[in-house]
Amino acid sequence: MDEQQEMKVKNPWHRPHIFLATAGIAAAIIIMVAIAVVQNKPLQQKYKYGIVLDAGSSHTSVYIYEWPAEKENNTGMVKQKQACSVKGPGISSYSKTPEKAGESLKECMDNATKTIPKHRHPETPVYLGATAGMRLLKMENDVDSKKVLASVEKSLQTYPFSYQGARIITGQEEGAFGWITVNYLSENFRKASRTVGALDLGGASTQITFVPGQQVESSDNSIDFRLYGNDYHLYTHSFLCYGKDQVLKLYLEQQIQPNADMTDNIILEDPCFHPGYNIIKSFQSVFDSPCVKNLTNSQKGQNFTHRGIGNWNKCNQAIKEVFNTSHCRYSRCSFNDVFQPPVTGRFGAFSAYFFVMDFLNVTPDHSLDEAKKILEAYCTTPWGTLKQKHRKVKEKYLAEYCFSGTYIVSLLEDGYKFTTNDWKNTEFIKTIKNSEAGWTLGYMLNLTNMIPAEAPDTPLLPYGGYVSLMLVLSFLIIVCIILGCIFFRRPSGPAHKEII
Ligand SMILES: Nc1ncnc2c1ncn2[C@@H]1O[C@H](COP(=O)(O)OP(=O)(O)O)[C@@H](O)[C@H]1O
Ligand SMILES: [Ca+2]
């Protein structure tokens, strides 16, 4: 055999079965790499969007939510993309200049137009829900409240989104949707885990919502949902006038003894305000709400001196007076003749519960007694010292944290009958997985039918598992084909012998 001939015989590419095997394996690798690349390529995510405006008593926030376009009915998919805080007060404050209510939304709505991709604008729903500030305005002056709603409606309709309405939501809705939000974000529906109760504290009203251990005796307090294949019977109540701003008015009304002809120079020595706090206020500024009594015209023009004395025990005692526990027409009540079953399970407390407790550095690790000690120390701190220490905090907030913190503890303990153990089961939260806790997300999920009543049929395998299984099977099939080729084509002639 000459040299050239020998080279030809020894060159493995001239053996068909080796060539075939190598080509087969190469093809398999190429297919697998191709699938892996397609799989991991950050697919251009297609998101859908929704906008909810929370028109609260003290301010309005505009929330933008987003979710993957293909997975609308999967719980846990909707996330908060952006929150924009509207400048100025809540919309109910524009009762005498209603056109300004709509104008106030402009900056945040313009922002939303920029944030949401243009091609999604026409299909993006916009909802506005107004809470207790507007409930109170409606009680006071129905015409004014309608004008304010018409003004925000007009403003929202100028945007390229799908406007779905502006309305005053009920206290039950506010409570129930807050509960849906926290449990949706915690994925308690999808996992069918125990739900957490929801506590919302606003400026004008406050809500408590949980799954009770017993029958709800009053139909006003009962609300049912079927979510993801499970039935939930909720207890919920909203106390109008018991948000932290309105309850301060109730408290001050009790502190300033009714006096037919209020003379000037009335001094209120207030245990819930700091020593050194000394501010002249008009009676009108306190008695400007349907939560408190009407003033006579002569009383309206009068002032009083609001003087802090910083006595936490007295403050705590005085705050208890805002809860009327003298009557209960049910087997049990929280206060003001409102039915409430015993609280049970864990609670998430958000909105002003969080703002106040976060400022005071009260965490779930503090016992109820420790929280009271922290409050006592804060309430007795002189006003001047506090102002020096917290120059950046709004003075109104700073002055009221003693009252609000003491009210929160009393609302839970004396109002809702929380035990020290229930307190341990309560967490003060602002967000869950970067989405804010509050009624807005639950409201949108409900109105867009995004939480299915029944659990969707789950595929036998999750998507990732399905792809892996297909890859392994394809690989095995290719290997089998190659081995088959090798086996059936194995020549028994001289070429074979020459290799050896
Ligand atoms: N940083 C803060 N510190 C203390 N209180 C705050 C802070 N931010 C907001 N708040 C208060 O939270 C409450 C929010 O209530 P809001 O949602 O406007 O009213 P409602 O839900 O009763 O309609 C208001 O009392 C507001 O003053
Ligand atoms: Ca609110």
- Can you give the CATH number for the domain in which 69 is found? 3.30.420.40
DSSP labels, 331-399: S-BSSTT-B-PPP-S-EEEEEHHHHHHHHTT--TTS-HHHHHHHHHHHHHS-HHHHHHHTTTS-HHHHH
Counting residues of the chain whose pLDDT is more than 90, the rounded percentage is: 76
Task: For 363-420, write each residue's pLDDT tens digit.
Answer: 989 999 999 999 999 999 999 999 999 999 999 999 999 999 999 999 999 999 999 9
Range from 3-12, 42-51, 66-75 carrying the lowest mean pLDDT? 3-12
Which one-letter amino acid corresponds to residue 133?
G
pLDDT of the residue at 493: 46
| Entry field: residues in the chain | 500
More confident residue, 495 or 456: 456
Residue 497 banded pLDDT, cuts 50, 70, 90: very low
Ligand nearest to the CA of 168: 1
Interatomic CA distance for residues 71 and 368, integer angstroms:
43
Question: For residue 327, what are its two tokens?
Answer: 């009557």
Q: Which domain holds residue 74?
A: 46-169
pLDDT of the residue at 259: 60
Interatomic CA distance for residues 17 and 483, integer angstroms:
9
Task: For 82-102, write each residue's pLDDT tens digit.
Answer: 999 999 999 999 999 999 999
* Residues near 394 by beta carbon (within 8 Å), at least 6 away in sequence: none
Choose, from 174, 376, 413, 436, the residue flagged as catalytic: 174
Do 21 and 135 lie in one domain? The reply is no
Interatomic CA distance for residues 4 and 6, integer angstroms:
5
202 and 175 in contact (C-beta within 8 Å)? no
- Centre of ligand 1 from the C-alpha of residue 59, in Å: 8
pLDDT of the residue at 224: 97
206 is in an annotated binding site: yes
Do 58 and 86 lie in one domain? The reply is yes
- In ligand 1, which atom is closest to the CA atom of 174? 21
Do 16 and 54 lie in one domain? The reply is no
- Average pLDDT (457-468) is 60
Question: For residue 450, what are its two tokens?
Answer: 């995004």
User: Nearest 5°: phi and psi at 57?
Assistant: -70, -30
Pocket test for ligand 1, best of 59, 148, 242 (most atoms within 8 A of CB): 59
140 pLDDT above the threshold of 50: yes
Residues with CB under 6 A from ligand 1: 56-59, 90, 131-133, 202-205, 243-245, 351-352, 355-356, 397
Interatomic CA distance for residues 242 and 374, integer angstroms:
23
Do 140 and 158 lie in one domain? The reply is yes
pLDDT of the residue at 7: 45
353 pLDDT above the threshold of 80: yes
Helix (H) or strand (E) holding 108: helix 106-115
- In ligand 1, which atom is closest to the CA atom of 130? 23
Ligand nearest to the CA of 130: 1
Which one-letter amino acid corresponds to residue 335?
F
- Name the residue among 454, 435, 499 with its Cα closest to residue 183: 435
- Per the rule left: phi > 0, alpha: psi between -120 and 50, beta: everything else, 481 is alpha
- Centre of ligand 1 from the C-alpha of residue 88, in Å: 13
204 is in an annotated binding site: yes
pLDDT of the residue at 23: 62
Do 53 and 159 lie in one domain? The reply is yes
Pocket test for ligand 1, best of 63, 247, 351, 406 (most atoms within 8 A of CB): 351
Do 53 and 149 lie in one domain? The reply is yes
Domain count of the chain?
Answer: 2
pLDDT of the residue at 70: 82
Task: Give the end of a domain, one of 169, 200, 235.
Answer: 169
- In ligand 1, which atom is closest to the CA atom of 55? 23
203 is in an annotated binding site: yes
- In ligand 1, which atom is closest to the CA atom of 132? 23
pLDDT of the residue at 24: 61
Residue 474 covered by a domain? yes
Do 64 and 159 lie in one domain? The reply is yes
Residue 299 banded pLDDT, cuts 50, 70, 90: confident
pLDDT of the residue at 481: 72
- In ligand 1, which atom is closest to the CA atom of 133? 23
9 pLDDT above the threshold of 50: no
Pocket test for ligand 1, best of 54, 137, 355 (most atoms within 8 A of CB): 355
More confident residue, 453 or 490: 453
Ligand nearest to the CA of 58: 1
Residue 221 covered by a domain? no
258 pLDDT above the threshold of 80: no
pLDDT of the residue at 297: 82
Q: Tell me whether strands 162-168 and 125-130 are parallel, antiparallel or unpaired.
A: parallel
- Centre of ligand 1 from the C-alpha of residue 404, in Å: 11
Residue 56 covered by a domain? yes
466 pLDDT above the threshold of 80: no
- Centre of ligand 2 from the C-alpha of residue 243, in Å: 9
**In the block, which residue shows the tokens 């001047």?**
384
Q: Tell the burial category of 8 from Cβ atoms under 10 Å away from its Cβ (0-12, 13-18, 19+).
A: exposed
Interatomic CA distance for residues 140 and 495, integer angstroms:
104
More confident residue, 279 or 489: 279
4 pLDDT above the threshold of 80: no
The residue whose C-alpha atom lies closest to atom 1 belonging to ligand 1 is 355
pLDDT of the residue at 322: 98
pLDDT of the residue at 312: 98
pLDDT of the residue at 231: 97
Task: Give the end of a domain, one of 105, 135, 169.
Answer: 169
- Centre of ligand 2 from the C-alpha of residue 35, in Å: 49
Do 33 and 82 lie in one domain? The reply is no
- Name the residue among 155, 480, 196 with its Cα closest to residue 364: 196
- Centre of ligand 2 from the C-alpha of residue 158, in Å: 26
User: How big is the CA angle at 67 (ends 64 and 73), to the nearest 5 degrees?
Assistant: 125
The residue whose C-alpha atom lies closest to atom 2 belonging to ligand 1 is 355
Do 149 and 37 lie in one domain? The reply is no
* Residues near 23 by beta carbon (within 8 Å), at least 6 away in sequence: none
464 pLDDT above the threshold of 90: no
Helix (H) or strand (E) holding 66: strand 60-68
Look up 99 and say whether it is catalytic. no
- Average pLDDT (294-323) is 94
Q: Tell the burial category of 66 from Cβ atoms under 10 Å away from its Cβ (0-12, 13-18, 19+).
A: buried
Ligand nearest to the CA of 57: 1
Task: Give the end of a domain, one of 149, 169, 189.
Answer: 169
- Average pLDDT (199-217) is 98
Residue 126 covered by a domain? yes
Do 22 and 104 lie in one domain? The reply is no
Residue 439 banded pLDDT, cuts 50, 70, 90: very high
Do 25 and 93 lie in one domain? The reply is no
Counting residues of the chain whose pLDDT is more than 70, the rounded percentage is: 83
Residue 213 covered by a domain? no
- Average pLDDT (107-131) is 98
Residue 124 covered by a domain? yes
Task: For 163-196, write each residue's pLDDT tens digit.
Answer: 999 999 999 999 999 999 999 999 999 999 999 9
Interatomic CA distance for residues 410 and 166, integer angstroms:
34
Strands (E), 359-500: 426-428, 431-432, 435-436
Residue 408 covered by a domain? no
Residue 440 covered by a domain? no
Do 26 and 55 lie in one domain? The reply is no
